[in-house]
Amino acid sequence: MANKEKGEVGVVVGGKPYTLRPTFDSLCELEDLVGKPLHELIDGIQQGRLSGVRAVTWCFLQDEHAAEIRTLKDASKWIEKAGGADAVLGFIHQAFGLNEPEEKTVDPPEAQAGTGEPLSSALVESV
């Protein structure tokens, strides 16, 4: 089962569950495979580079499905079964957190110790 907290994406293709897993190792393997830093690869994918989609898919499937998805050609076949590049691009965006809105957390000001009064904004800004 995919762990969303780790960026994993669970997909059922042809009735079989798959997990795309962006581990540190898979990201290193991906950079080695394409010969580019990760940010350049992501930029290329967002500009429509299909070879990047295939490379990411292959690397992200290796942790759980290396016996089945052995080559880049196998990854291409898997992409076709999964609904094509557009569908898989959505999975990749999920794995990289590209579709996620930034969480913004605003902590309420802490009370000054023993007074029950909030810290003054001048004090908060100086910290």
CA distance 100 to 20: 17
pTM above 0.95, yes or no: no
Chain mean position to CA 17: 18
Q: For residues 52 and 110, which has the higher predicted lDDT (pLDDT)?
A: 52
For the chain, domain boundaries: 4-96
CA distance 20 to 33: 17
Model confidence pLDDT, tens digit, residues 70-113: 999 999 999 999 999 999 999 998 988 865 444 444 444 444 44
CA distance 3 to 10: 8
Residue 95's CB: how many other CB atoms inside 10 A?
A: 22
